[in-house]
Structure formats: structure tokens, C-alpha cells
Amino acid sequence: MTIQAVLTAVILLVVTYMFFSPRFPNAVVATVGAIAVALTGTVAYKSVFTYYASTSIVLMAGMMIIGGGMFHTGFAGWMGNSIVKLTGRGERSIQIVAILAGGIMSSVCSGSASLMILYPILCSICLASNLSINRVLLPMFAGIGFGTFMTLAGSGMCSTTSAILIESGYEGWEFFSPTTVGLPRAIIYFVILLFFMGRVLPDKFVKPDEAEAAKSAGLPDKLNGKMITSGVILVLTVIGMVVNSPVCPMYICAAIGAVAAVLTGCLNQKQMFASINWSTVFMIGGMTAVAKGVEASGLGAVIADSIMNLVGADSSPLLIVFVIFLVTGVITQFMSNNAAVALMAPIGIAIAEAMGIAPHAFVMAALFGSGICCLTPMATPIMAFVMEGGHYTPRDIFRWGLLEGLASLVAAMVFIPIFWL
């Protein structure tokens, strides 16, 4: 290895260790990594912080602002309320609506915003139905996972992998690229839940939070002008992103939608900035710089050669898809899923280059491997909230996560080869 590759390897090990430690904020760790690859000369000083304003970051921030407009006008709350009202009082029907509501909400709002809207509503319904809250919170969490992998704008992991592809000289994802695996994954997972959900959810009764349930009374029942405006902005933005014209590419559509949300009064400037998850922005920006350092130093090629020697030089791309998916799925249990995918995507690209094929299949494997953030309470902040609200044990979480892991594995191994190999 060259001295640059050795230094980058040290940086990568330190960054990985810091991600595993709860003492260090993820955004700060990613920024430390970005500064380090600049100090070693692997990435030029003048370009290292340009990754914080990449087209993928603009797209993601724009969609966060549009989602914030829907939240502040009350449109998101009205939508969540309307969806959940479709349910009856039976446990199975409430569970199914919780799944569907989570999926629909997280496709237009962030996972955290979806949780904030749906949790009080579900608490209220469970109180009225005398149903334990732990029978519906994990189904809702599963639904939120559906929506985050449906489109490019669905999650930070989608934006992260797209940015890394672009910085490595390849085409990024189209708006519906994640859907090729995300939709089958959602269908497979939903069918599995229908058969096994009742068996893996705990039977111990947990009373819903009455204070949270009271918040649902403040959600709007009728649409008003601002709410309709925020919904129209979302629809027009998504249409523009699907068309993805060279005259108005996806990130410009997102920026126009964000500006329109502010100019029409869906949210003010202070709310606009509050709608952006700056931790995710710094995470993606910093780790994209680190990923560029891994590529530029030659470390990615070294890691790729080591993996190829381990699994065999003549290994099929399908085996590599499985290995990348599995490794990403394991490490994302103990660190941010954005961090996990940012660490594995450059390795996938390097392996693809060593094999002489396009890297999109391997990057997609890393993307969906990072989605198995459900086996441990520390895998994602949303899971930690759900665990506390439902009084779940780590064993409950692990058993539930196995269902999602199984659905993700089947979808990845079947549909990544079909669409990306």
C-alpha cells in the first residue's frame, strides 16, 4: 500500500471506532474524517467542504423543507389522522392501518416527523379500544421503514449512496431507483407480518400514554388553504423529480419546492432551517469526503482485492451482493445507518471496478443492508423511542428485527440482480 492508502486506512479505522462509541456525535465524527483526509492531502482542501453542498444534499434539504411545510401547515397531521381513522377497533385492523400509515407518512415526511404525528393518534386509538400500545408501535415502525426506501428522497441513506456514486464518476440514482428493491421488500415484509406479527409481538399489556393521546385532539379534521398549498407543492415537486429534465434536474425541483413553501407561507424562515436535519447533512457531507479519500488514496482498491482474495477471484457478483448486504447489515446495528452505508458503498464501488462491472448493484446492496437498523435498540433513534413507548425488551426488538432482516435479504438477493446486475 502507498503511504496515502495507509494514512486513509488509519483515518477510516479511527472514524469507525468513533461511530461505534456513543461518546462522539455522528455529525462531528464525519466532519473529523473529512478534515483528516484533507490534512493528509488525499482530498484537496478547496474541495473537501464542497461535499456539504452537493446536489444530493440540496435535494435532501429541499425535501426536508417541503416536508416541514406540510408539518407546520397541519397537512401532514390531517393526512395521518385521516389514514388512521380508516381503522376499526379490532387489533389486526389497527395494526394494518398503523403499518400503512407509517409507510405513507414516511414517504412524504421524515421518519421522525411521521413518528411524532402518528404516535399520539395511535395512543388515542389504543386507549379507546383498550389495546396495549406495544401491539401497534412496532408495526408502525415497520411501516415507516417501508416509506424511507421507496424513493430517492425517502431517506438520508438513499442520498448518501447517490452522492458517493456521483463523486466516484458514475450516474447517481433516479427518483424511483430505490423502488426497484424497496417496493418488493415492502410487499414481502407486509406478507410476513400478516402471518407472524401476532406471534412475535409481546403479550404483556402496556397502557398507552394518555398525555400523548391528548395531543391527537389538536390535529386538524378539515383542509384549509395553506394545507392544500403545501400538498400541491409536494405533488408538483415529485412530478418534476420524476421527469428529471436536464433543464430542471431533481435537486433544482427540490430547491424550487422548498422556496415555494416559504414564499407561500407554509413555513417561515426559522421553521425552514429547523426542518433541515443538520446532523444528517453533516454526516452525508463529511462521509462523502471520506469516501472520496478512500477512492483517491487507492485504499478502496486494496480492500476490494482483499475481499476478492477472501471469497475467490472468480466469485459471482451475486455472492458479493450478499457479502456487502450482510456486512452493512451487521455494522448498522451499532452505528448510524448513514455512517454504515457511507463506509460500505465506496468498498462496493472498488470491488465492482476490480471486477470490471458497473457498481450500482453493490451500492444498492449496501443501501438495503443499512436498512436493517432494527435488531438492536441503538440501531436508529426511532427504534429507541419505540422501545421506550412500547416497553419492549431487547429480545422483543431482536425477534421483530429478524422479520425485517429476512424480508430485506430476500428482496435484495432477488431484485438487485434483476434490475442492477
pLDDT one digit per residue (tens) for the chain, 421 residues: 788 888 988 998 898 888 878 788 888 988 999 999 999 988 888 888 888 888 888 988 998 899 889 888 988 888 887 777 776 667 888 898 889 888 888 877 777 778 888 888 888 888 888 889 999 999 999 998 888 888 888 778 888 899 889 888 899 999 899 999 999 999 999 999 999 988 899 988 999 888 888 877 777 878 898 999 999 999 999 899 888 888 899 999 999 999 999 999 999 999 999 988 888 889 888 888 888 888 888 888 888 888 777 777 678 899 999 999 998 988 888 777 888 888 889 899 989 988 889 999 999 999 999 888 777 766 677 777 888 888 998 888 888 888 988 999 999 999 999 999 8
- List Cβ neighbours of 389 (8 Å cut-off, separation of 6 or more): 119, 133, 137, 209
352: its cell numbers:
465492482
* Residue whose C-alpha is closest to residue 237's, from 62, 54, 110, 56: 62
Sequential DSSP letters for 186-247:
HHHHHHHHHHHHHHHS--S-----HHHHHHGGGS-SS--HHHHHHHHHHHHHHHHHHH-BTT
**In the prediction, which pLDDT does 385 show?**
82
CA 386 – CA 115 distance, rounded (Å): 9
All three cell numbers of 61: 434539504
Query: Residue 277: which of 76, 1, 60, 28 has the closest Cα?
Result: 60
Q: Tell me the three state secondary structure of residue 245.
A: strand
Q: What is the pTM of this model?
A: 0.87
C-alpha cell at 190: 407486509
Q: How many CB atoms lie within 10 A of CB 419?
A: 15
Residue found by looking up cell 415529485 in the block: 238
Find out whether 257 and 62 touch, Cβ atoms under 8 Å.
yes
Cell numbers 429534465 correspond to what residue? 245
Nearest Cα residue to 227 out of 86, 107, 63, 77: 77
Phi, psi of 245 (to 5 degrees): -70, 145
